[in-house]
Amino acid sequence: MARTIDASDAAPVTPSIDPAEVAKFSAMAADWWNPDGKFKPLHRFNPTRLKFIRETAERHFGLPLGELRPLKGLRLLDIGCGGGLVSEPMARLGAAVTGVDASEANIKTALTHASQQGLNIDYRAGTAEGLLASGEAAFDIVLNMEVVEHVADPAQFLMDTAQLVKPGGLMIVATLNKTAKALATAVIGAEYILRWLPPGTHDWSKFLAPEDVTRPLESAGMETDTPIGVSFHPLSGAWKLSEDTSVNYMVVARRPAA
């Protein structure tokens, strides 16, 4: 079992843990499943990323299209799972899901909500390093969604999570680009003008350019696809995949089969 972490930890103890970030999201834990609350942007963003995850997995593993539970038989890790906004849909698609988060408050929220929905998800308070140290078997899919910009050592975190992908498996990373446009829209606009997120949710200095994601993954033996952007369309109020990676983007990384 991975070491449990709570918001009282005074200093970074692993590459995954930035205590200030853990405390920040622990304070918001009870609001994860409120679609009009502090995580409203994630609820609006979720359909686009869930569709992308499903279609990427179907193509990668050669899964039949149109199945109700296409991920059945696949083991999936949602690292930095928060309250379970991605873990639950993945479980409904048939995956055997393990959700890991450094915040015990987030894990308690996720466990409670999954139980209410009748879903069996293996939620754990801990870290990627804890999984590695425990000798945890590798996963078919590792989801690294909007978490790398909140950890203490992004490069080491990415290399550690890459080690949890088994041969022939894949990882999907979603994060924010370190650009002036991202500062203007994802921080100043979303947090301080539109108030979509509580001020201080993001620290622009911790955003990552795509090469800061792909380089550590490739160093860990992964093969990376060209990053794909996710853009907000204000007229429709929808998020869509795009070629614009200047704010939000996702990277698919694959571990070659043995």
CB 196 within 8 Å of CB 258:
no
Judge whether 18 is annotated as a binding position. no
Judge whether 122 is annotated as a binding position. no
- How far apart are alpha carbons 239 and 126 in whole angstroms? 31
Judge whether 80 is annotated as a binding position. yes
168: left (phi over 0), alpha (psi -120 to 50) or beta: left
Q: Report helix, strand or coil for 238.
A: strand
The token pair at 10 is 């005074």
Judge whether 101 is annotated as a binding position. yes
Distances (CA, A) of 12 to 71, 171, 208, 257: 35, 25, 19, 34
Q: Across the strands, what pairs with 174?
A: 145, 250
Q: Which residues are annotated as a binding site?
A: 49, 80, 101, 145
Q: Which residues are annotated as a binding site for S-adenosyl-L-methionine?
A: 49, 80, 101, 145
